[in-house]
Amino acid sequence: MIRILLICVIATWVQAQHMDPELTVGPDQCGECHKNELAVWKETKHHKSFFDITRSEEGRQIAQKMGIKRIKRESDCLNCHFTSIPENDAIVPVAGISCESCHGPAKNWIDVHNDYGGKDMKKEDESPDHRVKRLADAIAGGMLRPDNLYLVAENCFQCHTVPNERLVNEGGHTAGSAFELVSWSQGEIRHNFLRSDTGDQNMEASANRKRMMFILGQVLDLEYSLRGTALATAKAEYAVSMAKRSKLAGLRLKKIQETQPVAQVQKIIELADSVELKLNNADALNRVADQISELGQELARSYDGSAFSALDALLPDPSTYKGSPAL
Ligand code: HEC
Ligand code: HEC
Ligand code: HEC
Ligand code: HEC
């Protein structure tokens, strides 16, 4: 029990940090084995942004207003737009938003997560005990496994809510995306090969998985817009849009709760209603966000979506998915 708790704490701690370049290996290494995932990723805006952003007039204007000379050098842009790794004693941006931006910097897990117990061991030969230990070791090394959807999807919201007051108010950067987890993950981003029978078909997420994504996406939106509101110091665009985002996420969760009552969601709604969305209220807002995070992770562990068929009426239509995958 203590061991499991410790692993959870480490995993949460690791993802709360921005990607540590010293622990990052870059997408090419992943692509040596995950060819299909790499091919899909190469056609996403996450990848293309690496080349586009420095050329875009909008990017130049934001950088200028922020007093930034080189977009690929300044941490304010690097954190969300690039993947950097150590090369020849320097830290160099080598890609846009890439595999490790979502699965965790891989230096300490890349050789662990696929090791079935020695060089000649195949998946079929692995003992159940070894599998449990392998996955636990990968998580301890900082891997965010899709198995815990909350921890993988958390990354999307850390970037897509754009929690940076100066960037929005002074830089004129967009104050967050109109992000919804099902529609934003099932289009161009979708890579879901290992679950297919042949191992190389890009499967649609199952109905159950989509229900879980839908509900957890709203919980994450609420958690991260509360954290974003906690960072607000001035009554301007940033504070106003973050507070509005929190309100809207709360309202959507109420709609979910009316359609499909779930105990954890009820508690989350009550927590959100208990805190004031105002400036200089960071301690209270972050405390509530922490509790919501616990409840969201509990939701992800406790349900697989099969009990939530009523949610199908609320799921976004496939025509609203953001793009389509290359494979
Ligand atoms: C040497 C080959 C190899 C390399 C390199 C590799 N992987 Fe994997 N990966 C695998 C194999 C094999 C599996 C299936 C493991 C299993 O059976 O549980 C896997 C599984 C995964 C999974 C699914 C895990 C799960 O538990 O559901 C993710 C996510 C993943 N890899 C990401 C990455 C990323 C990101 C990189 C680069 C940082 C990477 N892999 C590099 C071989 C590799
Ligand atoms: C907190 C994360 C975050 C930071 C920091 C950040 N961005 Fe962004 N940026 C985003 C997200 C998310 C989007 C996508 C918004 C959307 O949904 O359209 C985006 C979109 C953009 C776009 C429009 C899309 C494009 O590629 O043309 C530009 C330009 C841009 N950012 C420039 C910058 C610059 C310059 C910096 C540094 C001064 C910066 N950003 C820092 C998260 C961030
Ligand atoms: C924008 C975030 C994001 C990026 C970038 C990303 N992944 Fe994933 N990945 C996910 C999510 C979310 C899932 C879980 C999807 C699900 O369970 O339906 C996943 C699932 C996986 C899986 C298991 C499903 C499968 O494809 O077999 C593997 C392996 C994987 N990713 C590898 C990679 C590799 C390699 C890259 C880079 C080339 C990459 N991912 C880039 C978010 C991302
Ligand atoms: C490290 C920061 C980061 C993470 C993590 C991240 N994104 Fe993004 N995402 C961005 C930025 C920046 C852009 C804008 C790129 C551009 O247009 O140049 C973007 C663009 C997108 C787009 C294209 C939007 C459009 O207008 O077509 C989709 C879809 C998307 N992200 C989905 C996701 C999903 C789903 C996840 C989590 C599984 C995720 N992102 C995680 C930073 C991030």
10-60 pLDDT, tens digit per residue, is: 333 333 347 899 999 999 999 999 999 999 999 999 999 998 888 899 999
Of residues 7 and 221, more confidently modeled: 221
pLDDT at 4 over 50: no
* Angular region, 199: left φ>0, alpha ψ -120 to 50, beta rest: left
d(CA 227, CA 175): 14
160 lines ligand 4 (CB under 6 A): yes
pLDDT value of residue 76: 80
Query: Is there a contact between 327 and 36 (Cβ–Cβ < 8 Å)?
Result: yes
- pLDDT above 70 coverage of the chain, percent: 94
Task: Please give the structure tokens belonging to residue 208.
Answer: 């159950």
Query: Is there a contact between 34 and 115 (Cβ–Cβ < 8 Å)?
Result: no
Sign of CA dihedral 236, 238, 243, 244: positive
Greatest Cα-to-Cα distance within the chain, rounded to the nearest angstrom: 61
Atom of ligand 1 nearest to the CA of 100: 35
Contacts of 84 (CB under 8 A, 6+ apart): 19, 21, 24, 78, 91, 92, 93, 94
Question: How many angstroms separate the alpha carbon of residue 146 from the centre of ligand 1?
Answer: 11
d(CA 71, CA 60): 8
Question: How many angstroms separate the alpha carbon of residue 258 from the centre of ligand 1?
Answer: 39
Burial label for 11, CB within 10 Å (0-12, 13-18, 19+), is buried
- The predicted model gives 183-198 an average pLDDT of 94
pLDDT value of residue 70: 85
Ligand 4: which of 97, 100, 179 to mutate, most ligand atoms within 8 Å of CB? Answer: 97
Of residues 113 and 51, more confidently modeled: 113
Query: Is there a contact between 156 and 179 (Cβ–Cβ < 8 Å)?
Result: yes
pLDDT value of residue 199: 84
pLDDT at 101 over 60: yes
d(CA 282, CA 265): 23
- The predicted model gives 159-183 an average pLDDT of 97
> CA torsion angle for 21, 23, 25, 27 (degrees, to 10)?
-70
Task: Please give the structure tokens belonging to residue 162.
Answer: 């754009």
77 lines ligand 2 (CB under 6 A): yes
pLDDT at 237 over 60: yes
Residue from 309, 158, 146 nearest 220 by CA: 158
pLDDT value of residue 69: 86
Query: Is there a contact between 108 and 142 (Cβ–Cβ < 8 Å)?
Result: yes
Summarize pLDDT for 271-287 with one digit per residue, the tens: 999 999 999 999 999 99
pLDDT at 224 over 60: yes
Question: How many angstroms separate the alpha carbon of residue 285 from the centre of ligand 3?
Answer: 31
Lowest pLDDT segment from 45-54, 72-81, 227-236, 266-275 = 72-81
Task: Please give the structure tokens belonging to residue 194.
Answer: 């290992």
Which residue matches tokens 């616990």? 294
pLDDT value of residue 79: 86
pLDDT at 6 over 80: no
Query: Is there a contact between 232 and 278 (Cβ–Cβ < 8 Å)?
Result: no
Tell me how many degrees the CA angle 251-164-278 measures, rounded to the nearest 5.
50
pLDDT at 218 over 50: yes
Task: Please give the structure tokens belonging to residue 289.
Answer: 């966000």
- pLDDT above 90 coverage of the chain, percent: 84
Question: How many angstroms separate the alpha carbon of residue 305 from the centre of ligand 3?
Answer: 20
Ligand 1: which of 34, 46, 122 to mutate, most ligand atoms within 8 Å of CB? Answer: 34
Average pLDDT of the residues of the chain = 92
Question: How many angstroms separate the alpha carbon of residue 105 from the centre of ligand 1?
Answer: 13
Query: Is there a contact between 300 and 216 (Cβ–Cβ < 8 Å)?
Result: yes
- The predicted model gives 89-118 an average pLDDT of 95
- The predicted model gives 117-127 an average pLDDT of 91
pLDDT at 113 over 50: yes
Summarize pLDDT for 295-324 with one digit per residue, the tens: 999 999 999 999 999 999 999 999 999 999
